[in-house]
């Protein structure tokens, strides 16, 4: 059984970035590209998530995230356990094929 430090967790990033000027759009695009390069996947337009193994890994990615946050806008971080993440429900009239609640990544132990 995994100890607390080895628990799988999700980092969920919520952001609202301005896109009025060309520089704002570039900044927002750079931020999204950095998230993708760092292993995050898009849940919806301004919400990205990433799977981490243990609190140490979560802290590493939080620290890395702080290095590429844009100067303008708002970025929020929420950390949840994999069990909490798996209990997420999608409340829409009809679920689309590409929408998945469970992890798209396979975890081999």
pTM: 0.78
Could you read off the pLDDT of 23-69 as tens digits, one per residue?
999 999 999 999 999 999 999 999 999 999 999 999 999 999 999 99
Query: Per DSSP, which regions of 3-109 are E strands?
Result: 8-16, 41-44, 47-53, 74-81
Q: What's the pLDDT band for 5 if we cut at 50, 70, 90?
A: very low
Q: What element of type H or E holds 29?
A: helix 22-37
- Annotated domain spans of the chain: 4-86
The tokens describing 20, both together, are 């009025």
Distances (CA, A) of 9 to 37, 45, 53: 19, 21, 6
- Of all residues in the chain, the percent with pLDDT exceeding 70 is 81
**Residue length of the chain:** 109
Q: CATH fold of 4-86, please? A: Alpha-Beta Plaits (3.30.70)
How far is the C-alpha of 58 from the C-alpha of 53, rounded, in Å? 7
């Amino acid at each position: 059984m995994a100890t607390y430090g080895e628990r799988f967790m999700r980092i969920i990033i919520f952001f609202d970035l301005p896109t009025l000027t060309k520089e704002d759009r570039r900044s927002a695009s750079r931020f999204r590209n950095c998230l993708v390069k760092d292993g995050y996947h898009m849940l919806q337009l301004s919400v990205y998530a990433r799977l981490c193994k243990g609190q140490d890994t979560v802290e590493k990615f939080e620290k890395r995230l702080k290095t590429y946050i844009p100067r303008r806008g708002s970025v929020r971080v929420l950390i949840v356990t994999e069990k909490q993440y798996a209990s997420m429900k999608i409340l829409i009239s009809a679920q689309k094929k590409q929408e998945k609640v469970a992890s798209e990544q396979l975890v081999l132990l």
